[in-house]
């Protein structure tokens, strides 16, 4: 018996702030092997909860039976609803069969989450010569209807105008009017098997999309015709870039993609230093300062604040202050303002 990403937990094992246990992938295809499981701390940081977030144990894939005291739960990210937007390349280089493999991958990936109006929401966008919104985030609030919609998406065919898809996501899919009104993680997953037709427009579109601090963009390249530099530019960073050899290999990244989805945070980063201020005196010795802000980006979704000082100070040395006369009593004496 092999279970693919089904959650399992024992009530006695749940700490005050731990989620239920969630099973990882099977290590073997038959006989004896290992089964890994993980849980998440409600704070978003595993070090805040006692015990370990990961566990591994032996079992038999033929004889393995769950104890009657354990229960099953198919959702991941139990404490963290997410807005998931999948953006699928449907160009002519893929063909209908491979496009269907993308749909199957997205269906299995999204099926792991608990779908609902106040839980995880899902949107699907397809693109080729034109972009098409298959459904917005506020269309499906139950898993069965969502799965049916994904699996019955039509193959668009055409050229690879990636820029149109990225612009559509920013302007329409992420609109509060279309279900993106919540201040939660927005996870945009772009799958493509080739290079965009209009590289300049794609570069502009990806930069605009990534300005939103709540948005994390994942770029998945399929096959050897993908431009890896373009993938890197589309994704939020290199850690959110994937490459697989073919469409059949998409399943190999599901577990890692799921982990990245659940662990989305935006750590704060410093802006550039401001210019130095003017000296705070008009003569002799004084001080100047410059500042920076934790806004590039600002911390969000439980991310860390910036480390270090937001202000630097330096001494400024100006000309000597002019002399001033002392009170009468000492003929010809002067005092310095220094």
pLDDT at 336 exceeding the cut of 80: no
Query: What count of residues does the chain have?
Result: 338
Instruction: Write the pLDDT tens digit of every residue in 169-191.
Output: 999 999 999 999 998 889 999 99
- The domain that holds 282 is classified in CATH as 2.20.100.10
The pLDDT tens digits of the residues spanning 139-148 come to 999 989 999 9
- Residue 232 forms part of a structural domain: yes
Mark whether 219 and 147 lie in a shared domain: yes
Regarding whether 129 and 235 lie in a shared domain, the answer is yes
Of the ranges 14-23, 179-188, 256-265, which is most confident? 179-188
Long-range pairs, 285-288, Cβ under 8 A, ≥24:
285/315, 285/316, 285/317, 285/318, 286/315, 286/316, 286/318, 287/313, 287/314, 287/315, 287/316, 288/313, 288/314, 288/315, 288/316
Look at residues 99, 98, 97, 146 and name the one whose alpha carbon lies nearest to residue 127: 99
304 Cβ contact partners less than 8 Å away, ≥ 6 residues apart: 265, 267, 268
Minimum mean pLDDT among 95-99, 231-235, 315-319: which range?
A: 315-319
Residue 132 included in any domain: yes
Question: In whole angstroms, what is the distance from residue 150 CA to residue 135 CA?
Answer: 9
CATH number assigned to the domain comprising residue 69: 2.20.100
**What secondary structure does DSSP assign to 158-171, as a single string?**
S---HHHHHHHIII
Give the count of alpha carbons within 13 A of 286, CB side only: 14
Q: Position of tokens 């990882």?
A: 24
111 and 163 co-located in one domain = yes
**Who has greater pLDDT, 76 or 230?**
230
Q: In sequence order, which ranges of 242-322 are alpha helices (DSSP H)?
A: 254-262
Look at residues 202, 231, 262 and tell me which one is the last residue of a structural domain.
262
Q: Are residues 26 and 107 in the same domain?
A: no
Q: Is the residue at 66 inside a domain?
A: yes
78 inside domain: no
Range of the domain at 211: 83-262
> What gap in Å lies between CA 194 and CA 136, rounded to an integer?
25
- Residue 2 lies inside a defined structural domain of this protein: no
- Pick the closest to residue 91 from 237, 226, 269 (CA basis): 226
Is position 122 within any domain?
yes
Does 256 fall in a domain?
Answer: yes
Write down which residue in 228, 262, 296 finishes a domain: 262
Token pair for 229: 């530099």
Rounded CA separation 8/279 (Å): 65
| Position 25 pLDDT exceeds 70 | no
What 3-state class would DSSP assign to 230? helix
Give yes or no for a contact between 157 and 189, defined as CB atoms under 8 angstroms apart: no
The helices-and-strands tally (H runs, E runs) of the chain is: 6, 15
Joined together, the tokens standing for residue 23 give 């099973």
**83-89 and 186-192 strand pairing:** parallel
One domain, residues 153 and 251? yes
Q: Are 88 and 55 members of one domain?
A: no
Domain assignment present for 1: no
Instruction: Tell me: do 227 and 291 sit in the same domain.
Output: no
- Residue 41's pLDDT is 73
pLDDT of residue 32: 44
Structural contact between residues 157 and 114, judged by C-beta atoms closer than 8 angstroms: no
Cβ proximity of 127 and 89 under 8 Å: yes
- Pick from 73, 97, 118: which residue ends a domain? 73
pLDDT, tens digit, 9 for 90 and up, residues 200-247: 999 999 999 998 888 999 999 999 999 999 999 999 988 899 999 999
CA separation, residue 36 to residues 1, 54, 62 (Å)? 15, 7, 17
State whether 98 and 220 are in the same domain: yes
CATH code at position 152:
3.40.50.410
Cα 216 from chain centroid (whole Å): 3
> Which carries the bigger pLDDT value, residue 4 or residue 69?
4
Shared domain for 94 and 224, answered yes or no, is yes
Whether the Cβ atoms of residue 183 and residue 298 lie closer than 8 Å to each other: no
Shared domain for 301 and 277, answered yes or no, is: yes
The answer on 235 and 314 residing in a single domain is no
Q: How many domains does the chain have?
A: 3
Residues 217 and 230: their CA atoms lie apart, in Å, by 13
The mean pLDDT value for 318-322 works out to 82
* pLDDT for the residue numbered 54: 66
The pLDDT of residue 102: 96
Determine contact, residues 180/169, Cβ cutoff 8 Å: no
Considering only CA atoms, which of 43, 67, 53, 68 is closest in space to residue 21? 53
Do 235 and 90 belong together in one domain?
yes
More confident residue, 115 or 306: 115
């Amino acid at each position: 018996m092999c279970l693919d990403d089904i959650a399992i937990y024992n009530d006695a094992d749940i700490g005050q702030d731990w989620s239920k246990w969630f099973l990882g992938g099977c290590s073997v295809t038959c006989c004896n092997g290992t089964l890994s499981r993980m849980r998440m701390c409600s704070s978003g940081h595993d070090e805040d909860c006692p015990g370990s977030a990961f566990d591994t144990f032996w079992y038999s894939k033929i004889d393995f039976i769950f104890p009657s005291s354990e229960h099953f739960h198919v959702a991941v990210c139990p404490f963290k609803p997410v807005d998931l937007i999948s953006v699928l390349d449907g160009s002519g280089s893929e063909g209908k069969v491979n496009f269907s493999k993308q749909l199957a991958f997205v269906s299995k990936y999204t099926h792991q989450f608990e779908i609902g109006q106040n839980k995880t929401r899902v949107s699907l966008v397809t693109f080729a010569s034109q972009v098409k919104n298959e459904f917005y985030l506020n269309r499906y609030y139950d898993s069965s209807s969502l799965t049916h919609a994904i699996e019955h998406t039509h193959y668009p065919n055409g050229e690879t105008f990636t820029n149109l898809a990225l612009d559509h996501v920013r302007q329409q899919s992420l609109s509060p009017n279309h279900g993106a009104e919540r201040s939660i993680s927005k996870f945009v997953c772009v799958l493509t098997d080739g290079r965009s037709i209009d590289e300049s427009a794609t570069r502009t579109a990806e930069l605009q999309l990534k300005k939103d601090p709540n948005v994390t963009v994942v770029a998945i390249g399929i096959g050897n015709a993908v431009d890896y530099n373009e993938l890197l530019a589309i994704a939020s960073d290199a850690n959110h870039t994937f490459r697989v050899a073919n469409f059949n290999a998409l399943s190999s990244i599901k577990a890692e993609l799921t982990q990245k989805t659940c662990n989305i945070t935006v750590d704060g980063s410093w802006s550039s230093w401001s210019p130095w201020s003017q000296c705070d005196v008009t003569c002799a010795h004084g001080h100047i300062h410059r500042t920076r802000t934790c806004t590039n980006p600002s911390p969000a979704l439980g991310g860390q604040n910036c480390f270090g000082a937001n202000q630097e100070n330096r001494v400024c040395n100006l000309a000597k202050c002019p002399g001033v006369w002392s009170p009468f009593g000492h003929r010809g004496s002067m005092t310095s303002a220094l």
